[in-house]
């Protein structure tokens, strides 16, 4: 390759890798596989090695990808959290073993561990108590997410026994089990939110949430793989981890000592087949030299340890033929293209359909009908088309073109600037949207109307008894009893459920309305701030964006919802039937404007209140919870163990620092 060609290739690869780094670590929305990323990175490394005159300290080859968020305090790692070198073949693994053998020149033992596909975390324990939890970040520093980590039940807050070191760190992966992942995506689909691509993305996104109560509801899990400190119980990594299990940590039962490389290969082959039986995602095997003394002797490169390597499983893939593309309309009007292909066996199950996500995804694949396509299971759960074998394409094959009109009602589709999804805007006349809205309205987490499930809603709609949410409150017993498989008892139960729904609190009613992007958490937040549906309907986009956790997209969706006369008419009808569209007296009691217009940031731990209780008090008295130190912050409510960075920045900006006692006086005097 010529020098100029090499330079252009290097620049292009750097741009691509930085973009993929951002999508993977910051947005948790990767657009290429780990294998593709590693191949691009390896290509860049080889080019930079061949043309050292183009070396750049800012190149992706010189850094560890970052997941740092400005919403959290950054903390430096005592021991850098480096990435592992990846291998994809037995030959590459033999090369690793030869390098180890050459460097240490003596016998050694490996430890093989499953490489769980989650979000990396480092926990600091002092005197047997959890003191701090920090994300991987850029490997040098990460985000302090201690308050969120405390909600994970598999992580001990206080250790068992008494033989643990006085101070040590333990590192592992925060995981989202497959079962919980599926439930979470179902909930997101119901509230019109983008689905998580895989459990790893969901775990990473959850760790960065600002509301620990929501984090707790996600049922995250954890598994630990490394203990670091000065006075560990053993030189053996395997023995130390088993000791950590006695202290209360969740350690992988699948970990195994291997005396030679053949045992390592047997372990890899076994779990390449059996990983599909596990409750969490795995993407490979980590092979480590067991002795800590030998690990120190082998040392590190700039990015990774020389004593460990990751063998990455290839995602199980198969080829099949695309036969057609159909389009599904969801509750919020989002139109999702679905590929229909010849049935194929992948990861133990037969699949014949896969989501194509959106028009851009189809365009990037350059998809044509009757194409031979490669299908994988993303995160071992969701089938996806990853590539097209264009060499087998018939010259007359027709390209897949995204539809322009709703397949259900014929309304022209819309696509908002900056969004990837096409929507059908006719939510009052599009059958699947209407049925979806009713199903969402009656579900357990919303109005919880007993007896009304998806099948009954479908029946009511097709029989013309309920053409929308309001019609549910016009149903009569004899109409219901006349339906198939219904009867008088079932009809009575539905009517009692509808009557009971009139006492459901405002925040759940607001969630039940199905406003796009307004999930349970946002609905609760809005209800506490606006107090009534009338107040919410009158707020401008700018006023809504001042509410904690409400961004531009949510604000625009709320304003658009209340601009529709049919929505206002439905709310007026539901209100006349007795549904709750304002906070109860008990909920709205003890509210004042004493903190109106004030932005207050909470940092540290407190004697008499939890951080969530303090946030609630700030909102109850008209204030706003700040997420970071800025010129707009009026007060820093400081507790014990608060971060020095926040303190320094607040002092620099001249922000008043108040104690817990001073804050209480502000709202009580």
Within 10 angstroms of residue 46's Cβ, the number of other Cβ atoms is: 11
Alpha-carbon distance 219 to 151, whole Å? Answer: 9
Residue 110 CB contacts under 8 Å (≥ 6 apart), including other chains = 257, 258, 259, 261, 263, 264, 287, 288, 289, 290
Given the residues 115, 525, 615, 646, the one annotated as active site? 115
102 is catalytic: no
What would the two tokens of residue 283 be? 């993407």
What would the two tokens of residue 82 be? 């480096």
Alpha-carbon distance 130 to 144, whole Å? Answer: 13
Rounded to 5 degrees, what are φ and ψ at 316?
-65, 125
Alpha-carbon distance 511 to 440, whole Å? Answer: 9
Alpha-carbon distance 633 to 292, whole Å? Answer: 47
Structure-token match 């909102």, residue found: 619
Alpha-carbon distance 430 to 410, whole Å? Answer: 9
Alpha-carbon distance 655 to 425, whole Å? Answer: 46
Alpha-carbon distance 458 to 460, whole Å? Answer: 6
Residue 604 CB contacts under 8 Å (≥ 6 apart), including other chains = 638, 639, 640, 641, 642, 643
Alpha-carbon distance 534 to 511, whole Å? Answer: 15
Alpha-carbon distance 130 to 662, whole Å? Answer: 28
The DSSP secondary structure of 22-80, one letter per residue, reads: IIIIIS---SS-HHHHHHHHHHHHHHHHH-GGG--TTSGGGS------TTS-EEE-SS-
Nearest residue to 509 via CA among 486, 483, 530, 480: 530
CA distances from 375 to 88, 279, 281, 459 (A): 19, 22, 18, 36
* Strand, helix or coil for residue 382: strand
CA distances from 230 to 34, 163, 212, 420 (A): 34, 14, 32, 50
Structure-token match 């971060």, residue found: 643
Alpha-carbon distance 365 to 386, whole Å? Answer: 8
* Strand, helix or coil for residue 263: helix
* Strand, helix or coil for residue 328: strand
Active site residues: 115
């Amino acid at each position: 390759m010529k020098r100029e060609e090499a330079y252009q290739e290097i620049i292009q690869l750097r741009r691509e890798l930085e973009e993929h780094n951002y999508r993977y670590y910051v947005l948790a929305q990767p657009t290429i596989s780990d294998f593709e990323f590693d191949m691009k990175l390896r290509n860049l490394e080889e080019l930079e090695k061949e043309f050292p005159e183009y070396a750049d300290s800012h190149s992706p080859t010189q850094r560890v990808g970052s997941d740092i968020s400005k919403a959290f305090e950054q903390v430096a790692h005592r021991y850098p959290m480096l990435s592992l070198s990846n291998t994809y073949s037995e030959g590459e693994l033999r090369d690793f073993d030869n390098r180890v053998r050459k460097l240490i020149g003596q016998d050694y033992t490996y430890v093989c561990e499953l490489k769980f596909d989650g979000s990396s975390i480092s926990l600091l324990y002092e005197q047997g108590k959890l003191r701090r939890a920090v994300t991987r970040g850029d490997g040098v520093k990460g985000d302090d997410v201690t308050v969120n980590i405390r909600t994970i039940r598999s992580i001990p807050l206080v250790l068992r026994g008494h033989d643990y070191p006085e101070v040590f760190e333990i590192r592992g992966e925060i995981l989202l089990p497959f079962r919980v992942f599926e439930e979470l995506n179902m909930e997101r689909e119901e509230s019109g939110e983008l689905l998580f691509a895989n459990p790893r993305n969901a775990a990473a996104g959850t760790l960065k949430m600002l509301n620990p109560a929501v984090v707790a509801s996600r049922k995250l899990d954890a598994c630990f793989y490394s203990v670091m400190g000065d006075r560990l119980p053993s030189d053996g990594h395997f023995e130390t981890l088993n000791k950590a299990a006695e202290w209360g940590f969740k350690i992988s039962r699948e970990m195994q000592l291997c005396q030679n490389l053949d045992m390592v290969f047997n372990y890899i082959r076994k779990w390449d087949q059996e990983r599909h039986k596990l409750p969490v995602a795995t993407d490979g095997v980590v092979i480590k030299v067991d002795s800590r003394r030998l690990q120190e002797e082998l040392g590190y490169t700039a990015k990774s340890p020389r004593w460990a390597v990751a063998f990455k499983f290839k995602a199980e893939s198969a080829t099949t033929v695309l036969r057609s593309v159909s389009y599904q309309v969801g509750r919020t009007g989002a139109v999702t293209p679905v590929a229909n292909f010849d049935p194929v066996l992948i990861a133990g199950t037969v699949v014949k359909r896969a989501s194509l996500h959106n028009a851009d995804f189809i365009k990037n694949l350059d998809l044509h009908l009757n194409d031979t396509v490669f299908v994988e299971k993303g995160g071992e759960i969701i089938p996806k088309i990853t590539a097209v074998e264009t060499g087998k394409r018939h010259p007359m094959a027709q390209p897949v073109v995204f539809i322009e009109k709703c397949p259900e009602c014929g309304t022209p589709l819309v696509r908002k600037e900056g969004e990837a999804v096409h929507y059908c805007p006719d939510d009052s006349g599009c059958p699947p949207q209407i049925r979806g809205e009713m199903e969402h309205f009656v579900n357990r987490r919303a109005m919880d109307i007993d007896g009304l499930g998806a099948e009954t809603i479908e029946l009511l709609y097709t029989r013309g008894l309920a053409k929308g949410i309001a019609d549910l409150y016009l149903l009569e017993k004899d109409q219901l009893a006349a339906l198939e498989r219904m009867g008088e008892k079932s009809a009575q139960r539905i009517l009692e459920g509808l009557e009971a729904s009139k006492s459901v609190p405002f925040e759940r009613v607001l969630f039940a309305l199905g406003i796009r992007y307004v999930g349970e958490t946002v609905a609760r937040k809005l209800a506490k701030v606006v107090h009534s549906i009338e107040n919410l309907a009158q707020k401008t986009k700018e006023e809504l964006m001042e509410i904690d956790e409400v961004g531009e997209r949510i604000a625009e969706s709320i304003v658009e919802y209340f601009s529709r006369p049919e929505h206002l008419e439905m709310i007026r009808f539901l209100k006349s039937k007795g549904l709750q569209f304002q906070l109860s007296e008990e909920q709205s009691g003890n509210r004042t404007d004493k903190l109106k217009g004030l932005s207050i940031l909470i940092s540290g731990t407190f004697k008499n209140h939890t951080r969530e209780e303090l946030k609630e008090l700030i909102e109850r008295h008209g204030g706003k919870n700040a997420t970071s130190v800025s010129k707009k912050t009026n007060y820093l409510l400081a507790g014990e163990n608060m971060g020095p960075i926040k303190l320094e920045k607040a002092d620099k900006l001249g922000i008043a620092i108040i104690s817990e006692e001073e804050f209480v006086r502000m709202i009580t005097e």
